[in-house]
Each structure stands twice: as C-alpha cells, then as structure tokens.
Chains A and B, each alone.
Chain A
Amino acid sequence: MRDLEQCRAEVFRRSEEKIRENKRMRRRALTLCVPLALCLVIGAAVWPAFAPAAKQAGNDPVAVTPNGQVWDQETEVQYGDGAKEAPQAGAVRIETVEAAELLRSLAPANDMDDNAGEAVVTANAGQNDGKAIGASDGAPDAADDRESRFILVTPEGEETYTLRGKVLTCETEDWQRVLTEEEETALRLVLSADGSR
C-alpha cells in the first residue's frame, strides 16, 4: 500500500494526464468539426446557384401529377388520366366543332402543290422552323415564331398540328401552309378558347 504522499503525487500526475487527454480530444473534435462546418457553409452558399439551373434543365411544360394526370403548365390545362392520352410537350388537345371546321377550311383543297396563290410549304414537317418557306405573298415574319402545337380530336381520329408564326403544319397529313393575318388570329382565338377550357 502506498503512503499518502505517493498517492497525492499520483493524483496530480493522473489529473495532468487527464487534462492533456481532454485537450487532445477537444483539438481532435475541432479539427473534425471545422472542415465539416466549412463544407456546410460553402455548400449552403453554392446550392442556390445550382438550383435555378436545375429548374431550367427540367423546364418541361407538361407535368405528370402523382395521380397520373397530365398538367400543361403553360396553358394550365389538365388532361386525361394516363400519360398515354396526354399530348406531347406543349400540345393542346382541342375537341370543339368550330376548331375542327376552321382547320378543315384551312387545309389545302387538293394536292399541296396545286394550291395556287397559297403559300404552300414542302419542307419536312419535322424540320420545319418556319424559315424555309417559299411563299408567293411574302415569307412570314421570322421574329414571329410563336409556336402552338395542338391535337384535333375528331370521331375519325386525331390530327396533330403545329402553328409556328403564320405557318400551319399538319403533321398527320403532312402539309403546311402560310395563313393570312385573319386566319391566324381566328385560329389562335380558337386555340386559346380551347386551351382555357
């Protein structure tokens, strides 16, 4: 058994050792925490810069809701129950008689090349950008490139159209024509009326 003096010396020796160990642990914790905190701060600062880019990357106007319905964010129109019925991105589904009649009236009467006086476009519908149009009464304004895509639903089936500026393209029957100001206004009117329904 040690005498009291030895025990006292041992108490002080151990306490110094413990204090040193505590300091070491504190330093170790700091060396771990500081880089972690820095990473968090930098991450928090950098994240907002990435967020808009991510939003733009996924900027699809057509969104599918969790219950399977499709929501067109541009026109704010909701479509059927499944994605199959949903139009392609940006397409509006129109089912009114007026729209059908109007589109029928706009369609070329015979073969596309026979439409004298009409600006008939023979460019491939898939590549049409509204600029490769040979029009007899003047090419459409290049700046006027508002594009609407819509699907006309009739008892006979569906026809997909694209209206880019003044150029109306029927993708189903593969024809194109340049509309007059009045025709374009009338068509856009019908489209906006159908889209908001």
Chain B
Amino acid sequence: MDNGAGSYRRFLNGEESAFDEIMAELFRPLVFFVDRYVHDVHTAEDIAIDAFSDLIVHPRRYNFKTSLKTYLFMLGRSRALDHLRHRKVLAVTELDEARDAAGQENELEEAVLADERKRAVNAALERLPEDMRLAVHLVYFEDMTYDEAARVMKKSRKQVDNLLYRAKKELRLLLEEDGEEAL
C-alpha cells in the first residue's frame, strides 16, 4: 500500500477519479488527526479540505519521497497549528452547539475507528498530553511508522519513541482504572 502516492500520480496524469480514491482513503483520517489539535470537527474538516486543495493547486510540492499520507498529515498539522496561533478569540459555544459538536465528534470517531478497543483507547487518549496523544494517534491509529510519525510531528525518531513509551505507560494506567484492557 503506497498511502495514496500511486493514486496521486494517476491523478496528475489526468485521471480525475484517482482523486476520489485519495479522498476516500485519507480525508476522514486527516480530519480526525487535525481534530486532535483544534478540538472542533468543523474546523478540522475545513483544514483538511484546505490541505487537499493544496494537492491540486501545488502539484509539484509533493516529491513522492514520503507517503502521500505523511505529506497530507504534515500539511494538516502545520495548518492546524497556524489556526491555533491565529485564533485570538475563543468562540463561546452554546450548550446545544456543544452537544451537537460532541455528537459529530462521536460520528467522526465511529467513521474512522471501527475497532472497539481503539475507541476505548481513543477516549483515554484525551487525558494524555498533546505530544503523546499525537504520537499514539499517528502510530496506532494511522499505522504510520515511527519515522513517518516523526516527520509529521517534526521530531526525531528517538523523541517519538520516548513519547510512545511514556504514553503507553500512562494509557495502561488509565485503561486499568477504567477497567479496560491495556494496549
């Protein structure tokens, strides 16, 4: 599996349906990943759409040396961080809207995480520090290698390794507390 690179090559060669394949494969995971940063499904979706539109506007920027998934997640991360940096006023969310957003969050989770155990881990993940959360997400939810995760997070492989080690320890404790099976 080339994580979309082959489909993207076909899309660049004029096969427009190849883009649908990329969208089907990578759009929801990207939204889910960006949502880890922005904690708002709509914003995450917006950022993911922007990242995908970059694939069309700047086709030469992707050099095919990394997987398309890694590249898209890198785009998504940098855009999510930009969004957080520029977000000066926190929107006050009405209770109904918050309930609605939570519902949509669950919807997204269901769409991305079919595995029940992953869902339990996902719930526990929210209680971890951000770096650990992202490392676990990329490696265990998106099945990225340590190198790919390191590239997306702009960290060294060793740092990702350490983050995952500590995250697993924390998660084990949290899941044991919740009566769930540890990783």
B107 touches A14 (CB 8 A): no
Q: Chain B residues near A12 (CB, 8 Å)?
A: 53, 56
Please determine whether B49 and A4 come into contact, CB atoms closer than 8 angstroms.
no
Query: Contacts A4-B23, A7-B23 known; A15 to B53 CB distance under 8 Å?
Result: yes
Number of chain B residues whose Cβ lies closer than 8 Å to a Cβ of chain A: 20
Question: When A1-B104, A1-B107, A14-B50 are in contact, do A7 and B45 touch as well, CB less than 8 Å?
Answer: yes
Chain B nearest CB: distance from A6 CB in Å?
10
Q: Which residues of A contact B92 (CB under 8 A)?
A: none
A2 to B107 alpha-carbon distance, docked (Å) = 11
A15 contacts across to B, CB distance below 8 A: 53-54, 56-57
In the assembled complex, A24 has its CB within 8 A of some CB on chain B: no
Residues 73-97 (chain A) with a chain B CB within 8 angstroms: none
Inter-subunit contact B23/A14 (CB<8 Å) = no
| Interface set, chain A 1-31, CB cutoff 8 A to B | 1-2, 4, 7-8, 10-12, 14-15, 18-19, 22
Complex partner residue of A8 from B23, B42, B104, CB under 8 angstroms = B23
Distance A18 CA – B54 CA, assembled complex (angstroms): 9
Q: Find out whether the CB atom of B20 lies under 8 angstroms from the CB atom of A8.
A: yes
Cα A15 to Cα B23 with chains together (Å): 14
Report if A14-B27 is in contact (Cβ < 8 Å); known contacts: A1-B107, A8-B20: no
- Chain A: interface secondary structure? helix
| Known pairs A1-B41, A7-B45; A14 contacts B53 (CB<8 A) | yes
Q: Is the CB of B45 within 8 A of A11?
A: no
Contacts of A4 in B (CB 8 A): 23-24, 27-28
| Nearest CB in chain B: distance from A162 CB, A | 78
Chain B interface SS verdict (over half):
helix
With a CB–CB cut-off of 8 A, which chain A residues contact B52? 7, 11
Residue B38 at the A interface, CB < 8 A?
A: no
* B56: nearest chain-A partner, CB-CB: A15
- Give chain B interface residues in 32-63, CB to chain A under 8 Å: 41-42, 45, 48-50, 52-54, 56-57
Chain A residues, Cβ within 8 Å of B20? 8
Check A22–B56 contact: CB distance below 8 A: no
Residues of A within 8 A of B53 (CB): 11-12, 14-15, 18
Q: Do B27 and A7 touch across chains, with their CB atoms under 8 A apart? A: yes
Q: Which residues of B contact A2 (CB under 8 A)?
A: 45
Within 8 A of A (CB), among B48-92: 48-50, 52-54, 56-57
Q: List 29 A-B contacts (CB under 8 A).
A: A1-B42, A1-B104, A1-B107, A1-B108, A4-B23, A4-B24, A4-B27, A7-B27, A7-B45, A7-B48, A7-B49, A8-B19, A8-B20, A8-B23, A10-B49, A11-B23, A11-B49, A11-B56, A12-B53, A12-B56, A14-B49, A14-B50, A14-B53, A15-B53, A15-B54, A15-B56, A18-B53, A18-B57, A19-B56
Residues of B within 8 A of A (CB): 19-20, 23-24, 27-28, 41-42, 45, 48-50, 52-54, 56-57, 104, 107-108
- Given A1-B41, A12-B56, A15-B57, 4 extra CB contacts under 8 A: A1-B45, A8-B23, A11-B23, A11-B56
| Nearest 6 Cβ contacts at the A-B interface | A15-B56, A15-B53, A14-B53, A11-B52, A18-B57, A1-B104
